[in-house]
Amino acid sequence: MYKRIDRKAIRTKKHLRIRKKITGTAEFPRLAVYRSAKHIYAQIIDDQKGVTLVAASTLDPDLKGQFGGNKEAAKKVGMLTAQKALAKGIKNVVFDRGGLIYHGRIAALAEGAREGGLEF
């Protein structure tokens, strides 16, 4: 018989493996990305204090209703995250793709954040 692949468990395992190496500090906070079927979310987190410094998603009032869960929406979320971060004086971040493949919407969000002025 065939064994069923649990993709969520695989992603969680990858995410934990990545999080062993990546932590956000005050100088280099962590840009964490979560992708669902309809939306994409980004947070800039200081792991030492356990505080979310900046958050943006396709559900933000600035972007809500304009986009669905596509690459264009992800790029706009990246740019919005960068704008909010620069307003708080955050320029350098560490990118945490959350166990997801760096492709498609994840890569578009990272590209939008870089265009917005974040460095990682």
0.75 cut: is pTM over it? yes
Considering the domain boundaries, does residue 3 fall inside one? no
Q: Give the type of residue at 69.
A: G
Is residue 33 classed as helix, strand or coil in its secondary structure?
strand
pLDDT digits (tens, 9 = 90+) for 94-120: 999 998 999 999 999 999 999 999 999
Dist CA 50 CA 37 (whole Å): 27
Domain total of the chain:
1
Burial code of 2-29, b = ≥16 C-beta within 10 A, e = fewer? Answer: eeeeeeeeeeeeebeeeeeeeebeeebb
Among candidate residues 13, 65, 17, 14, the one with its CA nearest the CA of residue 39? 65
What is the CATH number for 42?
A: 3.30.420.100
Considering the domain boundaries, does residue 8 fall inside one? no
pLDDT band at 67 (very low <50, low <70, confident <90, very high): confident
Considering the domain boundaries, does residue 82 fall inside one? yes
Q: What percent of the chain has pLDDT over 70?
A: 98
Considering the domain boundaries, does residue 87 fall inside one? yes
Residue 69 confidence (pLDDT): 74
Considering the domain boundaries, does residue 42 fall inside one? yes
Neighbours of 49 (CB within 10 A): 12
Considering the domain boundaries, does residue 67 fall inside one? yes
Considering the domain boundaries, does residue 49 fall inside one? yes
Q: For all residues of the chain together, what is the average pLDDT? A: 92
| 109: containing domain | 23-116
86 vs 18, 54, 89, 102, CA distance in Å? 26, 10, 5, 24
Considering the domain boundaries, does residue 7 fall inside one? no
Neighbours of 86 (CB within 10 A): 14
